[in-house]
Structure 1
Amino acid sequence: MTSPLPAVAPTSATARSLAPDLARGFMLLLIALAHAPAFVSHRDLGPSALNTAAEFVRSLLAENQARPMFVFLFGYGLGQLYQRRRARGGDWTSTRKLLRRRSLWLIVIGFANTVVLVPFDVVAVYGLTLLVLAPLVRARDSVLWWTSALTLVPATALLAWQSVTALAAAAGGTPITMAQYMEPDLVAHLVASIPSWPVETAVSTVMVVPGMLMGIWASRRRILDEPERHAPLLRRVTVIFIGVSVIGRLPMALLLTGAWTTASTPVAWAVAVAHDLTGYLGGIGMAAAVGLVAIRLGRGHGPLTTALTALGQRSLTFYLLQSVVWLALFYPFTLDLRDDMGSAATFGIAVALWAVSVLLAEWMRRAGHRGPAEVLLRRLSYR
């Protein structure tokens, strides 16, 4: 038997592949665009045309599509970790313990994000999913494919139910936003999310399984690590997946912007299912598109590529930074701007926040600093 290895150090920043980190840097923009409008009371405040355009872009490109991209890259990173330890001679017992520690600390970090900052959290969901499904990082390819396909059904149904509920509320003149659930003071805010957090986190795990397992499968073939070897596959996935995603998500974007209306509940459900199901394809397709960009860039990285990669290497830190900014801007006990802007204005904030994150990440890279959240997670996981 192979004896368990002592804690294996994580991959250094200089040894990391370009495409996965570049994809994570771009992904943070989509997450910001998906989340920012959810914190205002009235998304139609301000210029009507700009608000309509913002809602259209959000529905078509970001909402329920940024998450699958995030999940796919999370699974890809798990697969990289497992393959790296296996190549160094680590046995499954030691790797399983590492994954268990990592998952538990992700749950803790996610819980803190939900309670202290904002209840838009995926970190704890990823941690719980990893805790339950860690053995799948070494499962056969067929197991990954079948598990992903089977869980895609309840995942899409759950997302579609949320979408239909949101459509019905908007049609009734009371759109669902985070603003209506914000507590008036900090103390109430700190306790408000605790009762519902366990159930919501557990239910949300089903939504991340399909993308996570596809990420593990892709990592085994080093599709993003060695994109040159997989260029034909990346081109096919990019064109087909993003094309199908745009077609499948367009009806929902038209509904949300008022360009099209329907009173039929079955039609609304069909639109929601198409929107959320093809969102998984779109998220993976965008990751594949970044792989093609990495091929084109080759080894000649310009300053923008370097900065975006630095952001991707610190994605957990800057994901949490977004939560800090949403809390600071919109909650009643902070700046309380929830009633002062519409969708277009929040889009401007999201883009500005992402641009500042790029600059901060590049400054941290030049200064030789990893992201504080990444450093904390590594120390806790690797002891």
Structure 2
Amino acid sequence: MTLTAPTGVTARALAPDLARGFMLLLIALSHAPAFVGDWDAGPAALDTAAKFIKSLLADNQARDMFVFLFGYGLGQLAHSRQARGGDWASIRSLLRRRALWLIVIGFLNTVVLVPIDIIAVYGLTLLVLAPLVRARDSVLWWTGLLTLVPATLLLAWQSVVAQAKPVNMAEFMEPTFAAHLVAAIPSWPVETAISTIMVVPGMMLGIWAARRRFLDEPERHLPLLRRVTVVLIGVAVAGRLPAALLAAGVWTPTSVPVSWAVAVAHDLTGYAGGIGMAAAVGLVAVKVRPGRLTTALAALGQRSLTFYLFQAVVWVVLFYPFTLGLRDGVSFVVTFGIAVGVWLLSIVLAEWLRAVGHRGPAEVFLRRMSYGRPKR
């Protein structure tokens, strides 16, 4: 199969990559605590502060930033292919190949590494909704709004259940790697299919935003980006604060309706916060001076798939019984330190890959499978 080569790294806009690099920190903060058995094992004040921060900043907000940027990337891809003379049939075929290989990567991530995966969910959603990448703006908005209701209710249901009994991955870890390899397979298809509804709203808005190049050319959209940043992050903080205080143990819901109201507010405004943070990074990209830190963080964002999987590798190595088995040996707040350390190490490794002229291995694989061998 011979296809036109994809856009090179040098042609990428700064803001989306900075946003993806920062997003990986939020994902690490969200995921790392899920692999320890006792969330109250450390100093009470520090564990309480970490739980508050995790709920306010990361839970059901890191993913929403991720999916917005995923949709934005789809919009960028469609724009670049059209600008280079590609017709819709070839673009749709490319998107579907990409979707299928995302499903494969996500399945392997779930089975071999950790059963906390969003990659296959993205792939399945794209496979089903690929025609919407070129849909009218009104279709994108209505699709996003109509799916926002069931998506929020599904997330809120999960949150209400977690309020009653927090669930972490430590409870489901298998004692051997062989058992681990088969444990997640039975539930993977259903969980992946159900989870697609949660990513549609952010994906639709990301595609719409990419058409207007809000993050590709943030200097042209400064007033809008400022309003979006202030309003959406403000809404997110207000809506998510009750749940964050609940997670920290400051208060306890008095009834089931209150539990649901807190959960709905937290998860609904997570969409606002994720998009608001992406807009904030757009503002930073305009003001920041080029330098080693900016370049390194952007390099991480360019390789976000690779380092999302890298995080999963680290969680397996550190926490599972058949590896280092730290699930019962560290506290909640220590996992925050681990998460930050993994993110910083990711920046260093991504910058090294950039310096030697290599994409991330996951990006290389996905591009090769999606595009085929480029023309010489």
Instruction: State the partner residue of 2:312.
Output: 323
Amino acid at match of 2:308: Y
Find out whether 1:104 has 2:100 as its counterpart: yes
Partners of 1:250 and 1:381 lie apart in 2 by: 42
Amino acid at match of 1:163: S
Q: Deviations over 1:209-249 (max 9, x none)?
A: 00001000000000000001110110000000000000000
Instruction: State the partner residue of 1:185.
Output: 176
Find out whether 1:335 has 2:318 as its counterpart: no
Kindly indicate whether the alpha-carbon contact (under 8 Å) linking 1:38 and 1:177 is maintained by their aligned counterparts in 2: yes
Aligned pairs for 1:33-72 (under 5 A) are: 33-72=29-68
Amino acid at match of 1:228: E
Aligned pairs for 1:1-383 (under 5 A) are: 7-169=3-165, 175-297=166-288, 300-383=289-372
Partners of 2:130 and 2:69 lie apart in 1 by: 16
Q: Deviations over 1:53-97 (max 9, x none)?
A: 110000000010000000000000000010111111111111111
Kindly indicate whether the alpha-carbon contact (under 8 Å) linking 1:254 and 1:260 is maintained by their aligned counterparts in 2: yes
Partners of 2:317 and 2:282 lie apart in 1 by: 35
Amino acid at match of 2:232: F
Deviation, 1:261, is: 1.3
Deviation, 1:7, is: 2.3
Provide structure 1 residue ranges, at least 5 long, that are not aligned to the other structure: 1-5, 170-174
TM-score, scaled to structure 1: 0.96
Deviation, 1:314, is: 0.4
Partners of 1:244 and 1:342 lie apart in 2 by: 31
Kindly indicate whether the alpha-carbon contact (under 8 Å) linking 1:43 and 1:341 is maintained by their aligned counterparts in 2: no
Deviation, 1:263, is: 2.8
Amino acid at match of 1:137: V
Partners of 2:89 and 2:362 lie apart in 1 by: 26
Deviation, 1:42, is: 0.5
Amino acid at match of 2:245: L
Deviation, 1:16, is: 0.4
Kindly indicate whether the alpha-carbon contact (under 8 Å) linking 1:8 and 1:85 is maintained by their aligned counterparts in 2: no
Amino acid at match of 1:188: A
Deviation, 1:130, is: 0.2
Provide structure 2 residue ranges, at least 5 long, that are not aligned to the other structure: none
Deviation, 1:8, is: 2.8
Deviation, 1:9, is: 1.8
Partners of 2:262 and 2:202 lie apart in 1 by: 21
With 337-346 and 238-247 compared, the bigger mean Cα shift is at 337-346
Q: CA RMSD in A?
A: 1.0
Partners of 1:71 and 1:307 lie apart in 2 by: 22
Amino acid at match of 1:45: A
TM-score, scaled to structure 2: 0.98
Amino acid at match of 1:285: G
